[in-house]
Structure 1
Amino acid sequence: MPRRIVRFPEVFPRRARALTLACAAAALTFQLSGCAVGPNYQRPSAAVPASFKEAPEGWKVAQPSDQTDRGAWWTIYNDAQLNALQDQLNAQNQTVAQFAAAYRQARALVGEARAAYFPVIGASASATRSRTPTRVSNTSGNFANGTISNNFNLGLDATWEPDLWGKVSRTVGAQEAGQQGAAADLANARLSAQATLAQTYFALRSLDTQQKLLDDTVAAYQRSLQLTQNQYAQGVAGRADVIQAQTQLQSAQAAAIDNGVARAQDEHAIAVLVGQPASTFSIPPSPLTATPPVVPVSMPSALLERRPDIASAERKAAAANEQIGVAMSAFFPSLTISASGGFESSVLSQLLSMPSRFWTLGPSLAGTIFDAGLRSAQTEAARAAYDQQVAAYRQSVLAAFQDVEDNLASQRILAQEVVVQQQAVESAQHALAIVTNEYKAGTISFLNVLVAQTTAFVAEQKLASIDGQRMVSSVGLVKALGGGWDVTQMGRETGDMAAPAPLQRPGTQTGQSGAGATGKVSTFTSDAAATSSARAQSAVPE
């Protein structure tokens, strides 16, 4: 009897070969995943001076212990009204709210980009019932007949494009840099709004001081008019003296009224900053009594780590650099691994049985052969965009140093000017007292009194203006130095309008700047003794 050989279907060898092919493709994918085309990012260099030119001799330099983030920098002015307004701004300013939303959007885009690292898995289920017509012939004629069939399908499919050339990692890097840049933009919006509020507030207080001066001047001119009228009644003075005194009084009254226009505008601006309607917002008048506190100044190299606008520009350059790699990855083919499987049967009760199974698995490779220079143009555009961001970063660094130098010069010059102006006020007041006594004695004309009164008023008005300018400039210097911000806060942003809670890090040092120099970080002292010193002492840098 011949030997009978039974051959079984080669199901298992086929599955083994498919599994081996899938494993080999996966292994090759993971080996190539570490290859990311495009230039690696390096922080652009920027010109950093060794010291600030406008800082006067003996100016207080920030110490390592000053690196600690003080958070609410405006508290150094010891003004409860200003503190309350800043709290409202941090909760209700709509410009800051816009940047907070932009940060949350940038954070979501990072998650969107990271999703490309993983496969896309889908599921499907279907049930159909169909009729297929047939023709049946018999002796009576042709009659239509049909076949009714059912089809049930339940399946899963997965598609994955491995990151062979670093397109996904470059995209994720660009979005992460964009998120950090958005965090710096948010911090810069906060700082700008806070500084604008503080400067507007001190300008308003300066106007209150000038209003008090104008009111006092009006009262003094009224007394002078009364004196002239008495002199005229006694026949000592002429009618012209009375008219001149009356004219001077009316001019002072008009100036006092006009001062209210600027104050109202500042008050309305503050209302917008704190997120309130100008129609329902008011600030009670109070003359300016504060003097600029001592602001330690860091080394110039530390400024690159302390200003959010510089950090934002640097992060935009980093994002543009990653886009170069994204554009270059288009020159290489893309690999897609697809898999699908499930159950399909014409009988619902047999759908989940083993004979109803089906599956497919395999890779596909696709690449562009000809695109008429499209990819080259896209790469060149990405490089040009990076160069643009580098130039913007360097420009922001230059503008930052200009900002610091401007405010240092303003603080130094105004500190000298206020001492001289105080002396001028004292001299003018002394001269006015002498001239008034001489006029009462009838030895001089009223014209001399008018000149002395005008000189004294102008001197006092100038002194009040300088006091306001010094406070505005002080806030400008704090803002120019970063307001206590540093780059570590980019990673602690939450997307809220309020800034993240400050971290206490005493004794630590900053990292190197773009020029490779390590500097001390600036912050601001709230020593009450510094703010309560006499005018002449506070005018001189420490």
Structure 2
Amino acid sequence: MTAAIQEAALRAQIEATKRVIRAQTEILELYNKQLKLGQIAGADVVQQQAALSLPQQQLPPLEKQLAPQRNLLTALTGRFPNDEVAETFTLSALHLPTRVPVSLPSHLVQQRPDVKAAEAQVKEASASVGVAVANRLPQFNSTATAGSSAVRLVQLTNPAAEFFTIIGQATQPIFDAGTLYRRQRASEEALNQAQAQYRATVVAAFQNVADSLRALQSDAKAVAAASAAEKATSESLGLVRKQYAAGRSTRRRC
């Protein structure tokens, strides 16, 4: 979702910058006409050329940022870069919150696939330690036998003739040259490694979420700045058009 929002924000900045360039270009054309009519000085034209060069410089980096963002979206869908997704994202098509949160509950981070995978590895390693410890302990087996004994047939029904025997058996490795102990130690080290990897994954997940939130906030500011620049340029274009029209009208009356 973050990748889609960032693409939409980039597209909004690109479109706003293109509109600013078109407006600034039209203003420059009007300034050149006014210069020929003697209505303005050459310095005004030079100043407008400088104003036009600014959004022209800003556009290529924005388009450059959009390309890897599209590749990221393609990769997230399990495709290769040459099989780019057809869908494009715009801010008008997204329903975004009016206020971007600066933090997220930790249980949302726990739902990430990488965190779940690391957690599963910890559980598996912990189970392996339990098996290794159990293999070093004595193994107990017991069997029970019930019946009755009597010298004469009529005595079989006598409770005193009944018997119940339990036979227990314990087995334990006597000499394994420390193999089972080393297996236990290896399992414990694997558990420590899995726990360390889990902690690193969780920290990286929180960092990624924090970076994404900050990126969204920065994108929102960039889009707002581009919209403000577009609005100011549009208003400036309107004024220049009026000035040019008024100058032509005055020249005709003269």
Query: TM tier, shorter chain?
Result: 0.5 to 0.7
Residues 484-517 of structure 1: per-residue CA shift (max 9 Å, x gap): xxxxxxxxxxxxxxxxxxxxxxxxxxxxxxxxxx
Deviation at 1:407, TM superposition (A): 7.1
Counterparts in 2 of 1:440 and 1:298: CA distance versus 1, 3 Å:
closer
Aligned to 1:238: 41
Deviation at 1:327, TM superposition (A): 2.4
Aligned to 1:315: 120
Counterparts in 2 of 1:282 and 1:237: CA distance versus 1, 3 Å:
farther
Find 1:226's aligned residue among 22, 25, 29.
Answer: 29
Aligned to 2:16: 213
Find 1:380's aligned residue among 174, 177, 185.
Answer: 185
Q: How does 1:292-441 map to 2 (within 5 A)?
A: 292-293=96-97, 300=106, 302=107, 306-331=111-136, 368-397=173-202, 406=210, 410=214, 414=217, 425=228, 429=232, 433=236, 436=239, 440=243
Residue 313 of structure 1 aligns to which amino acid in structure 2? A
How far apart are the structure 2 equivalents of 1:387 and 1:377? 15
How far apart are the structure 2 equivalents of 1:313 and 1:267? 28
Residue 288 of structure 1 aligns to which amino acid in structure 2? L
Matching of residue 265 in structure 1 with residue 68 in structure 2: yes
How far apart are the structure 2 equivalents of 1:268 and 1:303? 26
How far apart are the structure 2 equivalents of 1:304 and 1:278? 28
How far apart are the structure 1 equivalents of 2:9 and 2:32? 34
Q: Give SS of 1:278's match.
A: coil
Q: Is the 8 A contact 1:267 1:283 kept in 2?
A: no
Q: How does 1:79-118 map to 2 (within 5 A)?
A: none
Q: How does 1:467-478 map to 2 (within 5 A)?
A: none
How far apart are the structure 2 equivalents of 1:205 and 1:275? 20
How far apart are the structure 1 equivalents of 2:15 and 2:58? 12
Stretches of structure 1 lacking an aligned partner (at least 5 in a row): 1-197, 336-364, 442-542
- Relative to the length of structure 1, the TM-score reads 0.30
Q: Give SS of 2:96's match.
A: coil
Identify, as 1 or 2, the structure richer in helix: 2
Residues 228-287 of structure 1: per-residue CA shift (max 9 Å, x gap): 112211223333433443354355345435543332333333333334453453647664
Percent identity between matched residues is 24
How far apart are the structure 2 equivalents of 1:235 and 1:309? 68
Q: Is the 8 A contact 1:333 1:367 kept in 2?
A: yes
How far apart are the structure 2 equivalents of 1:375 and 1:324? 11
How far apart are the structure 1 equivalents of 2:6 and 2:88? 12
Corresponding pairs, count: 207
Residue 96 of structure 2 aligns to which amino acid in structure 1? P
Find 1:288's aligned residue among 69, 72, 91.
Answer: 91
Residue 252 of structure 1 aligns to which amino acid in structure 2? P
Counterparts in 2 of 1:332 and 1:433: CA distance versus 1, 3 Å:
closer
How far apart are the structure 2 equivalents of 1:286 and 1:313? 32
Deviation at 1:218, TM superposition (A): 1.6
Residue 77 of structure 2 aligns to which amino acid in structure 1? V
Counterparts in 2 of 1:308 and 1:264: CA distance versus 1, 3 Å:
closer
Once superposed, what is the RMSD of the aligned Cα atoms? 4.7
How far apart are the structure 1 equivalents of 2:89 and 2:129? 57
Deviation at 1:223, TM superposition (A): 1.7
How far apart are the structure 2 equivalents of 1:299 and 1:252? 39
Q: Is the 8 A contact 2:132 2:180 kept in 1?
A: yes
How far apart are the structure 2 equivalents of 1:375 and 1:286? 58
Deviation at 1:305, TM superposition (A): 6.4
Q: Is the 8 A contact 2:8 2:90 kept in 1?
A: yes
Residue 16 of structure 2 aligns to which amino acid in structure 1? L
Residue 31 of structure 2 aligns to which amino acid in structure 1? T
Deviation at 1:316, TM superposition (A): 2.4
Q: Is the 8 A contact 1:304 1:311 kept in 2?
A: no
Residue 246 of structure 1 aligns to which amino acid in structure 2? Q
Residue 266 of structure 1 aligns to which amino acid in structure 2? Q
Q: Is the 8 A contact 1:313 1:389 kept in 2?
A: yes
How far apart are the structure 2 equivalents of 1:277 and 1:304? 27
Counterparts in 2 of 1:327 and 1:213: CA distance versus 1, 3 Å:
same
Residues 304-359 of structure 1: per-residue CA shift (max 9 Å, x gap): 86455444333322322222233234446789xxxxxxxxxxxxxxxxxxxxxxxx
Q: Give SS of 2:39's match.
A: coil
Q: Give SS of 1:221's match.
A: helix
Aligned to 1:249: 52
Residues 113-146 of structure 1: per-residue CA shift (max 9 Å, x gap): xxxxxxxxxxxxxxxxxxxxxxxxxxxxxxxxxx
* Worse overlay, 312-321 or 248-257: 248-257
How far apart are the structure 2 equivalents of 1:286 and 1:390? 39
Aligned to 1:152: none
Residue 239 of structure 1 aligns to which amino acid in structure 2? G
